[in-house]
Structure 1
Amino acid sequence: MREGYHSYDGKIPIIAVGLRNLRAYGPEGPVFLRFGRDRLQPLLDAIGNPRLEAVYAREAEAARVHQEKYQAQLREAAREQAAKRAAEAAREAAQREARRPSCAGCGNRFTDERWEAAEETDWGRLVDTHPHLCDDCKAVTVASAAPTPGRQEEHQEPLPEWARQEFMRFPRRPRCTECKAAFTDERWKAVERTGWDHLGQEQHPTLCETCAQEDDDSIDNAWPDSRAHVSTEERPEPSPVPRPKSGGWFSRLRS
């Protein structure tokens, strides 16, 4: 007997019943006596082991209570870990917002995209031409750059987005070495092409469109193509190729 119950593993129960008790209480009443016990029991209790089942029930309840406590501890630990991660993320976000730069023109904070573009470097050199300005202020600054008076002076409209991205690497507008006039946006873009095939794309990268055209015209006037004026009638007939004479030691070698 252990912990208030007997173990009947490998044993066959022997049960007796009296007809007088059976008639008085019926087959479901406490009329069965199991050998080795001193009281009458119902049939299921007599053939079973109720004290063992009670011990199993108490152990299952104790295990259930222990599991609930363990799950509650896990949930509490998860809540504490989540709260700690949220506090750490909030602290890092606050520190990052404190480091976020402000526009020198309007005072507004940079967006994440503008912040990343302003800090981008190429071999240790800033790629952006106006890292202290936001996108709007940079567009206004680039578009409002007044050209120097000259033959190509004209009203410059605000640059579109593709033009601002194209001129980002060239903050200073070129000037014509002949007339000293500032390049237009189209001329600037044409002479400042980048890539492996930039050589040979523009014959006069230091001249404006007008001066470049005048230079090409002067070259055409100074060196006209004389071959275009030669008619087919004036072309001399090709001289016939002389053929070797027959005979001699060379003809004998050929034969």
Structure 2
Amino acid sequence: MAPAGLGTLASYATEVALPATGTWANPGKGGAQADIVITAPEDGVPLLFVEIDNCFESAQVLAGKIDKYMRFCQRKVKDVDGTERPMWRTRWWVPDGRHGDRPHPPLLLVFNRIGPRNPNTVIAQLAELTQRHWQGHDYGGDFHIYDGKLPIVVTGMKQLKEHGPAGAVFRRFGWPHNQTLIEAIGNPCREAYDARKQAEYAARQREHQEELRRIAAQHRDEREASRPVCAGCGTRFTDERWKAIEPAGWDAPRETHPHLCDDCKQQAVTAERQAQQPASDYQEQDQAVPEQKASCWLSRLRT
């Protein structure tokens, strides 16, 4: 059974001009021509240029072709909205990528051993001749940044037919071992670094949230320990009662029973009113007697 491929028939275009000058319809001199252009974003390959070599050309000739690919990738034009952007982005969609780490679309070189040249020798020479185009910048030993670089990947036609894009038969210039196509055109070390940093950040966030919960619980415990207790019944004050006895503004009414809960305060107020009631009645009766006497004297004077 043949290995799975990439995309659909519509994902492939052949003999595609990549103009360094001129237009898409009328390319000028100095540009490249891709044998195949693959656009299969659903399979993790948004844009891939493919150059097939039948082992007749020297490393120097292939290096000249790669120079043309680089010139095309570096070319910028104004898009329909007036914004200047890389020319290839006016035709194909590719995710923007990370700021400060946006390589050019990758180039896959497929060596078909028909001619007399040894592809292994050519590949070694080609990697050295084009190093300025593909070599990234080391980022603290964790990964490389390939901003403005051209990822160059090589494989053999026989291996490609046998294993397909999912097989570890692709070697990216600058890497010591073979990878799958998706790994080779990507930046797995950067992705692993980002995933690790994201996990560390998530762990710090969890620790921070846990610390906040611990502090909040400590504050609640301290507050509960200082919650007033009713001097009458011994129950703890409710939040509303506690707030009511706290000092307010200078013009706020003064709390009359700050040591009692609401129920005990109500009972105390009622008891105080009842205790004051007999004295009030007595004063009213005492005041009524002189009024009666005065009334009698007035009646006598009138008679």
Specify the TM-score bucket, using the shorter chain as the normaliser: 0.3 to 0.5
Q: With a CA cutoff of 8 Å and minimum separation of 6, indicate the structure with the bigger relative contact order.
A: 2
Higher strand share: 2
Q: TM-score, structure 1 length as denominator?
A: 0.44
- Structure whose alpha-carbon radius of gyration is higher: 1
Taking structure 2 as the reference length, the TM-score comes to: 0.38
